[in-house]
Amino acid sequence: MALSKQNIRSIVMPIAMVTGALLCRPLGVIEEATGHMLTPLLIAAMLFVTFCRVDIKAMRPRLIHLWMLLVQFLGSIIVYYATLPLLGECVAQGAMICVMAPIAMAAVVIGGMLGADINTMATYSLICNIVTAIIAPFLLHAFGNGSCTFAEIAGRVVPTLVAPFVAAQLLRWAWPKGAGFIAARSSLSFYLWIISLVLVLGRTTAFILDTEADPFIEVELAIVALVLCLLQFSIGRLLGSMYGDRVAGGQSVGQKNTILAVWMSLNFLNPISSVAPTAYIVWQNLVNSYQIYRAGKRG
């Protein structure tokens, strides 16, 4: 039986993750040689392709966006205090950052593949990352050990999210046929994401191998990340079903900008807590792979 395009994509994602893990050291050398710019450039290119499909006139804030923000920020505080007495501060910080992290850059790409309204997701992606840059410094100061600023977070969000969006909308305005040509080849964004995933998993594996922490705490952080990943995808899909788009809700709440989360953990929390968002990278991409597989079977 021939495999559908969706099923092939669902297989490619785990292969990319295993490849990244096995080649973590050579990939680290490549990242160093490019000044750690290769992954951000790939993500920006991936988003540019996707945003060429987004009509800015169709973008508008919706009530579901407010609910998702409340899940993100109130949820992070609730999770911190629920976990603290049971597993200690390090695990509580790891749990908090897995919820507080904004929507992933690639969420719009994966959501589009699964049939979500990309205008809804693009709108939330911009809102969520801007609000995170405003609110996260206060939470990191309250529950962490360092002072974070709006500019520091914005500096990591603007080049990979806002810049591709602005560039894509300018192209749609100045050269609609060119934007249409790129939009018609939206599958390119998925393959750019696969290359990014290989690099991210390489970095993730190297980080875990080099982390000098109690293995028991690392396991606790990984398990907490798994539970929160499944819980957030479920809550997001529930919210989405209330507003007519289960997929957009699930991807917006469940798929996290783990690169930003790891950076925040390393710089403003107990560095060991970064194992949680590092593990979350694996869990959310396994969930995405399963969802793509299911979508292929239904299709």
pLDDT in tens, the chain (299 residues): 445 566 677 788 889 989 999 999 999 899 888 888 888 899 999 899 989 999 998 899 999 999 999 999 999 999 999 999 999 999 999 999 999 999 998 898 899 889 899 999 999 999 999 999 999 999 998 888 767 888 888 888 888 888 999 999 999 999 999 999 998 888 888 888 889 889 988 988 888 888 877 889 999 999 999 999 999 999 999 999 999 999 999 999 999 999 899 999 988 999 899 999 999 999 999 999 889 888 777 65
- Check: CB of residue 293 under 8 Å from CB of residue 4: no
Give per-residue pLDDT as tens, 209-240: 888 778 899 999 999 999 999 999 999 999 99
CA 226 to CA 182: how far, in whole Å?
A: 36
CA 289 to CA 278: how far, in whole Å?
A: 18
Q: Domain containing 61: what range?
A: 5-298
- Check: CB of residue 47 under 8 Å from CB of residue 105: yes
Cβ count near 60 (within 10 Å)? 10
CA 224 to CA 287: how far, in whole Å?
A: 15
Give per-residue pLDDT as tens, 81-96: 999 999 999 999 999 9
Q: What is the pLDDT of residue 2?
A: 47
DSSP state of 162: I
Q: What is the pLDDT of residue 68?
A: 97
Total domains present in the chain: 1
Q: Tell me, what amino acid is at 146? A: G
**pTM assigned to the model:** 0.92
CA 229 to CA 67: how far, in whole Å?
A: 18
- Please enumerate in sequence order all residues whose Cβ is within 8 A of that of 296, keeping only pairs 6 or more positions apart, or say none: 4, 5, 6, 7, 9, 10
Q: What is the pLDDT of residue 165?
A: 93
CA 296 to CA 233: how far, in whole Å?
A: 19
CA 125 to CA 118: how far, in whole Å?
A: 10
In the beta sheet, which residues pair with residue 256?
103
CA 185 to CA 48: how far, in whole Å?
A: 12
- Residue 111 sits at φ, ψ, to 5 deg, of -60, -40
CATH number for position 233: 1.20.1530.20
CA 48 to CA 128: how far, in whole Å?
A: 18
CA 26 to CA 11: how far, in whole Å?
A: 23
Cβ count near 213 (within 10 Å)? 16
How would you write 196-257 as a 3-class SS string?
HHHHHHHHHHHHHHHCCCCHHHHHHHHHHHHHHHHHHHHHHHHHHHHCCCHHHHHHHHHCEC
- Residue 95 sits at φ, ψ, to 5 deg, of -65, -45
Q: What is the pLDDT of residue 67?
A: 97
Closest CA to 295 of 4, 2, 84: 4
Q: What is the pLDDT of residue 299?
A: 57
